[in-house]
Amino acid sequence: MIETRSSNRDWVATARTLSEALPFLQRYDGKTVVIKFGGNAMGDPGLMERFARDIVLMRQCNVQPVVVHGGGPQINAMLKKLGLGHEFVGGLRVTDQATVEVVEMVLAGAINKEIVTAINQAGGHAVGISGKDANLIVAEKLLRKVKDPDSHIEQVLDLGFVGQPVAVHPKVLDTAIKGGLIPVVAPVGVGRKGETYNINGDTAAGAIAAALKAERLLLLTDIEGVKDENGQVLTDLTPDDVVSLTERGVISGGMIPKTQTTLDAIRGGVGAAVILDGRAPHAVLLELFTPHGAGTMVRPTVQKA
């Protein structure tokens, strides 16, 4: 095959990109990055393959990725197949005993192993675990308060086996990472009495990132990031900015729990948290290894220029 000047320029551009990435590769050398993988990207084989390759590349560059995944659409499909209904309140699935059994089966079974297989096929060494393994995520029942629209009286809403992390024991993750493995975590927690709890994937990822004192928490979603009143993506926020935007109603709906997760993670010692579009090609690599980044970064006030 005879190479043309055009193809040679392409290789030069590739070499330049690798060279420009050097400072970022050095910044994250040996550092832990927790990635929440979910949304439509999980249902697209092409995006799944690309994500897996990016995770393997991170590990090859001596970054220590920990993947935490969701699986809402797949859970819904299985519940429908089994003739079980589902209800959401405030973005959280009401989970009875039958439902939590399906949740565990889908999250810790099919989805977890699909991601593990994709990473391994890309040349990595991934291992799938759930929050129940080695008591990784100890949880308790999450109770939500709702206000009656007529009486305006607050009532406690029982969501069933929906949990919130109360303790994270990352020893199993540390062991896997030191062994050169890439942990892939299903967000299923265990209660004090052995109960199984369904945990929001973003919440689980934030709790794990805090326990590991991760350098970065990346929340991959189906939107570009936090947007202002004019629909423009805000690239750099502090916790105070997030609180202000929420109070003004700019951050609303499903973005509220995501930004709350970033705040909790930062308070727990995570270097910074980023909300970004997991559908964008190589979003994780763009965020970590280029000066432009991707999505919305939330970091401690003292670090903002």
What does the pLDDT look like over 33-45, one tens digit per residue? 999 998 666 778 8
The predicted structure's pLDDT at residue 179: 95
Name the residue with tokens 């763009």: 286
Helix (H, G, I), strand (E, B) or coil at 101: helix
- 86 or 184: which leads in pLDDT: 184
- Is the pLDDT at 106 greater than 80? The verdict is yes
Is the Cβ–Cβ distance between 52 and 125 less than 8 Å?
A: no
Instruction: Tokens for 183, please give them.
Output: 């942990």
The predicted structure's pLDDT at residue 304: 42
Q: Where are the domains of the chain?
A: 27-303
- 205 or 84: which leads in pLDDT: 205
Query: Which residues of 194-304 form beta strands (DSSP E)?
Result: 196-198, 216-221, 236-237, 272-277, 296-298
Helix (H, G, I), strand (E, B) or coil at 120: helix
b/e map 168-197, b = 16+ CB within 10 Å = bebebbeebbeeebbbbbbbbbbbeeeebb
CA distances to 47, 111, 186, 187, 188 from 80, rounded to whole Å, are 25, 17, 21, 21, 21
Tell me how far apart the alpha carbons of residues 75 and 296 are, in angstroms, rounded to a whole number.
Answer: 28
Name the residue with tokens 């009143």: 229
In one-letter notation, the amino acid at residue 210 is A
The predicted structure's pLDDT at residue 188: 96
Name the residue with tokens 């947007």: 227
- 232 or 209: which leads in pLDDT: 209
Class of domain 27-303: alpha beta
Report, as an integer, the average pLDDT of 156-181.
92
Q: How far separated are the first and last CA of the chain, in Å rounded?
A: 50
Is the Cβ–Cβ distance between 202 and 257 less than 8 Å?
A: yes
- Is the pLDDT at 241 greater than 50? The verdict is yes
Give percent of the chain with pLDDT exceeding 90: 53
- Is the pLDDT at 290 greater than 90? The verdict is no
Instruction: State the sign of the Cα–Cα–Cα–Cα dihedral 47, 215, 198, 249.
Output: negative
Name the residue with tokens 């050097």: 22
CA distances to 1, 2, 17 from 9, rounded to whole Å, are 16, 14, 12
